[in-house]
Structure 1
Amino acid sequence: MVASEFLRRLYTKGGEPAPDKSIGYYADDNRLVPALRSALQEDEWEEIYESPLGVFLKFHDLDFGWASRLVHHMLTFQIVCKQRYEIWSLIGTTPVRFSLHEFEEITGLNCGYVDDLALADLELSDEMRAFWELMGVDVESGPSSIEIIEACFNCSSWSQDDRLRLGYLGIYAGFIVATRPGLSTNVNHARLVIDLEGLKEFPWGRIAFQHLIKSVKEKDLSKNIHIEGFVQALQVWVYYALPDFAAEFSEPLPNDPTPLLWLTKDQEDERTSKPTC
């Protein structure tokens, strides 16, 4: 298929927004993981670290460098896409896709399908109510990152299961949805931490991807923006879409790692500061 058969570009060629506006993010807040690490016992931390959601803690250990301009360029090369959960960008005349499939390959998260992803019929159990009271949050709201950080300083007398729940809540709020630290998270998804075994089987990758792609598609790249969700997956996607660039500025982690997270070497102006609010 030739380039002329594709839908029009999102931005006219040559008229793309200049990369002089920053793309910030909330994922991997520099306060949350240290707070969780200090709150959890060594065996508790290890259990979460080696769980299906431990990929985010392992990512945190990479000291990943954020290349705002690079991601900005890739997003301005988009072509108009009617698919709600896909992005297509042109590299020259070659289209490259960012979809649930690519997100799953990059993160290694469970992105399986479930009939009720929103968990509309999830009941509020007595155990849920008790844990929310322990957290000190409204029973009808999902804890924010700030509330989770505050709980980390008051959980020393909690049971091991409750501290594990706090740890998983931190991953959910700080990486999977990764919105402004003071905003409440989706209460139904947050309540899944009550079932410590069941939550490991839930397709958190699908939740993370949908949240990220929605945030990306609603942003105006001509302005300074913050993208919610695990935005770093976009940067890894760019490296795979631009192998020559990746060969010069980054390298794969040793021993062919899974998931496909890359550790960048570029430490120049493309980095942007993480938000502190």
Structure 2
Amino acid sequence: MGDPLPLRLALPELRYPIGSEPEKTISINQHLIVAYIKTVKEILGNDEFNRIRGTFLGPVIKLGERSLKLSAKIVHAVLTKSIKTVKRHEAWFHFGAQPMRFSIREFHMVTGLKCSGEAREPREGTEKFKWDFLKGRTHTVKDVEKQLRNTREDASDERFCLAMLLLIESILLQKSLLDGGTTFTLDYVKIAQDMDVLMTYPWGRTAYNLLLKSLQRAVDKSLDKNNYDLQGFPMAFLIWILESVPLLQYAFSQVVPILSVQPSTPIFLCEKYLQIASPQLIDVLLIEIKDHLKVTCILPPISNDPEDEVCMGDEANKDLDDMADLSKRGYKFKIRD
């Protein structure tokens, strides 16, 4: 742990040198994921909603029903500690001078969403639902909600597909809270009309790409502002931070007890969180300077997770890989490194 840094390793450049990160009082625009969960549950009733709960959205719904809010100060503190990299499909940060990676694998570990596999096209000849908002070129979640409310109660599959679309778009794919929210193309609607495609589509990859681009844009252009947006599902990024820095998790969240016996099906990280606090920025930064701080560079696998090795092709970055390997082997980086 006290060994010198290998001379052959060139550490990546930081977005801000350590000690010069912006420490402004900021807010991050966010939408409450519980809002449309309550709406869908009210429209469907318990029995139909339990069918939704049993799908790939189950872990995210469990988190949403706990009404947890995004801690802007924790998220902002880590965004200001970005490590520059040529990799386009993952983001690297440091905390207490220790590196940590956020990639599609970590997004999947938090949400349980399908992130691998082909994005299948809706099948030709599949019987289509006749939805009013298909007459236009775009739609909003309000259009989907209206259609769901107007669909017959005995049309269970149609209601199921509409409810899934409403939750996917409102929780995972929102881009704006202004002027009635995000306007979507009809591509997702066409997917929702084919239940097999809807249930096997890699929604996690779509949601991750939206969130990652939003994080990258914030790092490049917004960290010196008093207010900025994060798109998609930024709660996944916050939970990844808490998992990567156990002292932050201990100080600012409450999680369910760890099971002594591993279940046969994976328990995804978002299912653990009962409460998340909203500390001040100074409280987060005080955690960073603690002597016994530990940071996990790459999260360990979840038991029985079939997508643990999910990844996206990216540019090679040997110095970054070597840094991650050193961290995994127990080297504790120092500010002077």
Normalised by the length of structure 2, the TM-score is: 0.69
Q: Where do 1:166-205 residues align within 5 Å?
A: 166-180=162-176, 181-205=180-204
Q: CA deviation at 1:209?
A: 0.7
Tell me if 1:12 matches 2:17: yes
Classify 1:138/1:126 alpha carbon distance in 2 versus 1 (closer, same or farther; 3 Å).
Answer: farther
Tell me if 1:145 matches 2:141: yes
d(CA) in 2 for partners of 1:59 and 1:149?
21
Larger radius of gyration: 2
SS in 1 for 2:99: strand
- Aligned-partner residue type, residue 201 of structure 1: T
Q: CA deviation at 1:83?
A: 1.2
Does structure 2 conserve the Cα–Cα contact (< 8 Å) formed by 1:27 and 1:229? no
Tell me if 1:46 matches 2:50: yes
d(CA) in 2 for partners of 1:73 and 1:45?
37
Q: Which structure 2 segments of 5+ residues have no match?
A: 260-265, 282-337
Tell me if 1:238 matches 2:241: yes
Tell me if 1:258 matches 2:281: no
Tell me if 1:215 matches 2:214: yes
SS in 2 for 1:150: helix
d(CA) in 1 for partners of 2:37 and 2:88?
32
2:82 to 73, 78, 82: 78
Classify 1:22/1:138 alpha carbon distance in 2 versus 1 (closer, same or farther; 3 Å).
Answer: farther
- Aligned-partner residue type, residue 192 of structure 1: I
Q: Where do 1:23-34 residues align within 5 Å?
A: 23-26=28-31, 28=33, 30=35, 32-34=36-38
Classify 1:27/1:2 alpha carbon distance in 2 versus 1 (closer, same or farther; 3 Å).
Answer: farther
Count of aligned pairs between the two proteins: 261
Classify 1:152/1:194 alpha carbon distance in 2 versus 1 (closer, same or farther; 3 Å).
Answer: closer
SS in 2 for 1:5: coil
Normalised by the length of structure 1, the TM-score is: 0.83
Classify 1:172/1:190 alpha carbon distance in 2 versus 1 (closer, same or farther; 3 Å).
Answer: farther
- Aligned-partner residue type, residue 137 of structure 2: E
Moved more, 12-21 or 229-238: 12-21
Classify 1:149/1:8 alpha carbon distance in 2 versus 1 (closer, same or farther; 3 Å).
Answer: same
d(CA) in 2 for partners of 1:157 and 1:28?
25
Q: CA deviation at 1:236?
A: 0.5
d(CA) in 2 for partners of 1:19 and 1:146?
35
Q: Which residue of 2 aligns with 1:62?
A: 66
